Structure 1
Amino acid sequence: MQIHNLSENNSVLNHFLGQIRNVNIHNDSMRFRRNIERIGEIMAYELSKDLHYKAVEIQTPLGIKKTTEISDQLVICSILRAGFPMHTGFLNYFDSAENGFISASRHHPNNDDYFDILVEYQAIADFNGKYLLLVDPMLATGQSIVAVFNRLMERGEAKEIHIAVVIAAPEGIAYLEQHLPDTCHLWVASLDEKLNEHSYIVPGLGDAGDLSYGTKL
C-alpha cells in the first residue's frame, strides 16, 4: 500500500488539525464540521496531483488558452455518519465526481471492549473502471475500512482505490497493509501515537461523528 502522510510538511492543514483537536472549541459543532470540510478540500488538492490529465483548449473573451483538465472518472464514497463533512470537502474540489455512502459501525455483542463491524447501508454509483475515493475521518483499528472495502468489492472493480483519512493510528495502518491490495493509496492528514485499551486513537480528537452532529444513543 502506498502511504501519503501530508502532515510531514508544515501547511495550513496543520492549523485546521489543531483546531479540530482542541477541547476548548469542541462545543462549536459548526466550526468542527467546517474544519473537517476544509481538511477534505486540502486532501483533495493533494490527491489531485496523483490523477491523470488531458490537454484541452479554452475559449476566452480574447483568445484560446491551452491547459489541462482531469481525465479520470471519480467516485467519492464516505462512511456514515462522520464522513459527511469530509465528503463535502472532496466534492467541493471534484465537483463532477459521482458519489456513494456506506455505513459502518462498531457492534459490541458482549457489552465489553470486543467488537465487530456492521455494514448495513450502501448507496453508491457504479465505480467499475473508475477512481474510487473512500473517505473517513478516523482510521483506528482499520476494521471498518476493510469491512467497507470488502463489501464494495462485491459490487465491482475500481481502476484505482484511494483511501483518505484525517487522523490515523499506526495499528490501523498496519491492519490495512495486511488486508488491502498493495495497489491501494492511503492519504493521511495526521499520524497519531497509538490506540488505547478501548481501541480509540491517542491523542486523537474524540468521536468525529458526535462532534459533528451530536451524541448518539
Structure 2
Amino acid sequence: MLFNLSEHNSIANHFVAELRDRQVQKDRLRFRKNAHRLGQIMAYEISRHMHYRNTPIETPLGTSVVNLMPEPPVIIAIMRAGLPYFQGFLDFFDQSDAGFIGAYRQEGHTEIVINLEYLATPSLAQREVILVDPMLATGKSIVQSVNALAKNGKPSHLYVASLVSVPEGIQFVNENVDIPHSLWTCAVDDNLNDRFYIVPGLGDAGDLSFGEKL
C-alpha cells in the first residue's frame, strides 16, 4: 500500500511547498516546524489504519465504549534528518516507545553506500512500528534499517513514513522488505539524479534543519 498525502487537498500542501521553497528554506526554524507539522498530520493519517478494539471507559455518570489502540506504536527515527518529522509523530503518539537509528550516505561512490552505526529500540515483536525517514530516495537506508531491526523482533506491521519519495525507492522497498508494510509519503517526485538525490526534491533535510555537516 502507498499513501500519498499530496493527492488529497489540504493545508499539508502548503507545508510541503514551504519545505521545497529555496527562499523559505533560509529560515531553519521554519523548515523544522513544517517537517514537525507534517509529522503530526501523517501520524493522524496512519492512526486511521491501525488496530483498534472496543474499550469501556468509566465516566462520572456511566460507561462509554470507545475504539482505542490496545497499545501505541513504536516510533523509530532515522537520524539526524528525521528528528523534526519524528517529533510530530511523538506529539500525537505521546505514550509510544521510541527508537533511533544512526545512518548516513557515504559520498563519492558511483553507487550509493549507506552506513548504519547506531541502533537502539525496544522489543518490536508483534508491535505496530512507524519508521520515520524524511527522504525515500534509493530505499537502501530503509531496507538496511529494517534488516537491522529484525534482531529486536518482527513487527506485526511496519509503516514507513517519508516527506518525499521517488518511484525507484518505493519499488526497492516493496521488493526487499518481506514483513507486512505500507508506505506513507507527503509527495512522490519524478526521479533520482546521477548523485542519487530526489528531483525536484527539497535538498538535504538534515542540513536544512541543523546546518551543513563537515
Please indicate the TM-score interval, normalised by the length of the shorter structure.
Answer: over 0.9
Q: Which residue of 2 aligns with 1:144?
A: 141
CA contact (8 A) 2:163 2:186 kept: yes
| Higher relative contact order (Cα pairs below 8 Å, separated by 6+ residues) | 1
| Aligned residues: CA RMSD | 1.5
Q: Residue 81 of structure 2 corresponds to which residue in structure 1?
A: 82
Work out the CA distance in 2 between the residues paired with 1:89 and 1:99.
Answer: 13
Q: Is the 8 A contact 1:52 1:72 kept in 2?
A: no
SS in 1 for 2:117: coil
> Does the Cα contact within 8 Å between 1:41 and 1:90 map onto a contact in 2?
yes
Q: Gapped runs of 5+ residues in structure 2?
A: none
Alignment of 1:8-157 (within 5 A): 8-61=7-60, 63-108=62-107, 111-157=108-154
CA contact (8 A) 2:112 2:196 kept: no
Question: Whole-Å Cα distance in 1 between the matches of residues 163 and 50 of structure 2?
Answer: 20
Moved more, 181-190 or 10-19: 181-190
Runs of 4+ in 1 over 6 A off after TM superposition: none
Contact 1:78 1:136 in 2 (8 A): yes
The alignment partner of 2:78 has SS state of: strand
* Deviation larger for 178-187 or 141-150: 178-187
Offset at residue 60 of structure 1 (A)? 4.1
The one-character-per-residue Cα deviations of 1:95-141 (angstroms, maximum 9, x if unpaired) are 11100000111123xx3443311100011111111111101110011
Equivalent residue number for residue 195 of structure 1: 192
Q: Which moved more, 1:182-191 or 1:58-67?
A: 58-67
Shift of 1:61: 4.8
Aligned to 2:165: 168
Structure 1: give runs of 5+ residues left out of the alignment.
none
Overall identity of the aligned pairs, in %: 43
Q: 1:155 & 1:58 partners in 2: Cα distance?
A: 33
Q: Aligned pairs, how many?
A: 214
